[in-house]
Amino acid sequence: MEFCPVCGILLQIDPGTGSHRLRLFCPVCPYVCPILNKIVKKARLVKKEVEPISSTADEMKSAPKTAVTCQRCNHGEAYFKQMQIRSADEPMTTIYRCCKEECQHEWRED
């Protein structure tokens, strides 16, 4: 993306016809810039760090328990809490954490 140095508007590309070469032009002011070289700009994508579903393990230890089967170890009990993650007209999201000390698998049910 290139911007007009005069007014700051995003430049548009003119494909050029006949003897005219490819060029960038401003749709607001009379600025025109011929394209002489191939325009290549690379930007490295920085991925966000994935945050855990719950903030601390101790927080889930004080949460209520329910009879639900863990998807990883098939233990029959898990801590749970409910949060409103999406918009208000959508149902609450239930977050589970396996009660088994060796597992501690977290999953959610929308």
Averaged pLDDT of the chain: 83
pLDDT tens track for 78-104: 988 888 888 888 888 888 988 888 888
Whether the model pTM is above 0.75 = no
Residues 35 and 62 in one domain: no
Burial class (CB in 10 A: 0-12, 13-18, 19+), 48: exposed
Residues 105 and 62 in one domain: yes
Report the CATH number that the domain containing residue 88 is assigned in CATH. 2.20.25.10
Count of domains for the chain: 2
- Tell me which residue range forms the domain holding 104: 57-109
**Has residue 47 been placed in a domain?**
no
- Binding-site members are 4, 7, 26, 29, 70, 73, 98, 103
Identify the top-confidence range among 3-7, 45-49, 54-58, 80-84: 3-7
- Binding-site members for Zn(2+) are 4, 7, 26, 29, 70, 73, 98, 103
Residues 4 and 35 in one domain: yes
